[in-house]
Amino acid sequence: MNFRSKRVNNKATAIFKQNIHSLFSGNKKRVLYSIELRDYDRFSRDDVADINPGARGTKLFVLYEPSTGLVYDLTHKVIGRRGEDIRVRGQQGFKLDRLASITFRFNHRRL
């Protein structure tokens, strides 16, 4: 499933709250999520901001473990837990003008 947030125009620091709801089987060990941050451009292609702290790519991939509430990066390093703010920042690569950070949180409840 893909979700698109609302636009925040012409801000050096864009702050908005986006809630995404997803359903998954109760027996899932880990659930993979990907997050991509785009800079909207009216007359040219949108730029993809670098929010991936890894060496490759701009998209952030995280694994959520429902049974423990832990959030992992793709190297299986714990980067946070359910209910707390998790902040990641891209790595300074070849496009410094696309370097960005993002803060997100997993709020998990059983139905």
Q: What is the pLDDT of residues 37-50, one digit of tens each?
A: 776 666 656 677 77
Separation between Cα atoms, residue 51 and residue 37, nearest integer Å:
7
Q: Percentage of the chain with pLDDT > 70? A: 66
Separation between Cα atoms, residue 91 and residue 56, nearest integer Å:
9
Closest CA to 66 of 78, 82, 77, 85: 82
How high is the mean pLDDT of the chain? 78
Q: What is the pLDDT of residues 71-86, one digit of tens each?
A: 999 889 999 999 999 9
